[in-house]
Chain A
Amino acid sequence: MAKADRVGIADCADVEAFTQSYVDGELSGRDRERYERHLRDCERCTAAQRFASRMKAAVRGHLPRRQVPASFEQRLRVAIGAQPEAPPRWPWLTWPRVVPALAAMGVMVAIVGTVHNRRSIVMEQARRTYQAELPLDVTGPDCAMVTSWFRGRVDFPVHAPRLPAQITCKGGRLVNVEDRPAAYLVYQDQRGHRVSVLVFDPEAAPIEAPHHRLVDGREVFYRGGPGVMTAGYRDQGLGYVMTADVDEDALTGLLQASFRQPAPPANELH
């Protein structure tokens, strides 16, 4: 056992781990300095280090490099020569394959884009109709009167969503969604801001948009346009798209108001 040395290595067990690193030339800096100082005072560790070094050298000395058999070397060169010259890392990633793949990808993107637009057609129609301010077929502040006007003109009973009291009915217009008649209702508030609701058969045009969220437990799809926001949802088998010149949160507030005050059944309207 070595006596405690100046650099703090008191126990041979502390330096045992260093022996291997030292022999392998992996010990450097202060650790190497400490280890060598310890060896100067400790015969036991010096013997262990000397044995490890000699053993390493002996193993290496007794296990020289094996000669590669000439026949194997020849076979190896033939095997490598049989490989294609400079094979690419990814053999499938070659121009004759990449070009058709890119073309196919472009077609896919086009198809997906078309489908996407088609799915949104009813929301896009609602926005355009809102912005066009087309003349109304029926006008009046009485929602019941406006909705009853659609009887016989569309294939479903029209229920006007109930909005807050300051937003009153302005009128309605018969429109088509795809090839089916639909009801376009217009509301306005005291300052002249308009809110429109397109009521239609969702079988004619599904309501889809990338952005959707639950409002009072109902899935609502949103689509923004220049200066306006549209929100689509389904209720009792009918499709509704509400459009207003407000942001998403304000439109959601209108939706919540209508969801919490369901429209009266059709038979109450008359």
Chain B
Amino acid sequence: MALFKRRPSRADFEREALPHTQALYSAAVRLTRNERDAEDLVQDSLLRAYRFFDSFEPGTNCKAWLFRIMTNVFCNRYREREREQEILTEAKSSDANLEQFFAGVEGGRNVEGALLGRLVSEDVERALADVPDDFRIAVILADLEDFSYKEIAEIMECPAGTVMSRLYRGRKILQRSLFNYAVEQGVITPDWANAEAGAEAKQGKANPASADTVDLDSYRRKRAGGAGTDGQG
């Protein structure tokens, strides 16, 4: 009976939970996209975990338990639904570029090496930040924290099938961003990307990733300042 179970002490909490602070903080930075919010998120989550620590079953996965709490706090407090919807819509319209890219990968051309070999951490961080919340959480948990699908399903409180589809979608969006950065930086100048960009331009779509037209500095200014501060108009 819970009334007579030994209550965990502060020392128990410090021994079991606090060693996961770095993992929580690291994920929190990538969830909230800034360090100040990440500190708030981790502190809220750990204090909540401390208050409810007697509901944690000793011997089970404390890290997963903490991540479940933090994911809940994040989803309730920080997520930006409108932004997520906006990015999703954009993502759907741009997948054609990726398909072209994979055609190159599968065709044996060395674009894979060109892309992966020239990646910089700043771009990967930026690309991950552009992934909508639900997909980003799945990518962080699977790729950065090594949680299994089952654990992610428990953390995100959704079926394992949903985890797989979120992970798949999140990775696709991440890859698309990385591909676009590589094209705009001239790392990849494949014919198929130019052809695709030309096709989109003819349809009147704005495409900052077109390799032959993009001015990288101008593009970065645009990203930093928002769409209305392009300096072109």
Query: Shortest beta-carbon distance, B131 to chain A, in Å?
Result: 11
Q: Which of A249-267 contact B (CB under 8 A)?
A: none
CB within 8 Å for A80 and B119 given contacts A62-B124, A66-B29, A68-B21: no
Q: Does B47 contact A26, Cβ atoms closer than 8 Å?
A: no
Q: CB of A92 within 8 A of chain B?
A: no
Q: CB of B90 within 8 A of chain A?
A: no
CB within 8 Å for A89 and B21 given contacts A48-B106, A54-B116: no
Chain A residues near B108 (CB-CB < 8 A): 43, 47
Selected from B42, B54, B124, the residue in CB contact (under 8 A) with A59 is B124
CB within 8 Å for A86 and B102 given contacts A26-B149, A60-B143, A63-B144: no
Q: Which residue of B lies closest to A81 (CB)?
A: B10
**Assembled-state Cα–Cα distance A175/B130 (Å):** 89
Q: Which of A60-77 contact B (CB under 8 A)?
A: 60, 62-63, 65-69, 72-73, 75-76
**Assembled-state Cα–Cα distance A75/B47 (Å):** 12
Q: Does B9 contact A67, Cβ atoms closer than 8 Å?
A: no
Chain B residues near A20 (CB-CB < 8 A): 164, 167-168, 171
Query: Shortest beta-carbon distance, A98 to chain B, in Å?
Result: 8
Q: Does A51 contact B10, Cβ atoms closer than 8 Å?
A: no
Q: Does A55 contact B175, Cβ atoms closer than 8 Å?
A: yes
**Assembled-state Cα–Cα distance A243/B7 (Å):** 58
Q: A51-B112, A62-B124 are known; give 13 further A-B pairs, CB within 8 A.
A: A24-B167, A47-B105, A51-B102, A63-B121, A68-B21, A69-B35, A79-B43, A80-B13, A86-B8, A86-B9, A88-B7, A88-B54, A89-B55
B residues with CB within 8 A of A: 2-3, 7-10, 13-14, 21-23, 25-26, 29-30, 35, 39, 42-43, 46-47, 50-52, 54-55, 102, 105-106, 108, 112, 116, 119-121, 124-125, 128, 139, 142-144, 148-149, 164, 167-168, 171, 174-175
A residues with CB within 8 A of B: 20-21, 24, 26, 43-44, 47-48, 50-52, 54-56, 58-60, 62-63, 65-69, 72-73, 75-76, 79-81, 83, 85-89, 93
The 9 A-B pairs at the shortest CB distance, nearest first, are namely: A62-B124, A66-B26, A62-B121, A86-B7, A65-B26, A44-B106, A89-B54, A68-B25, A47-B106
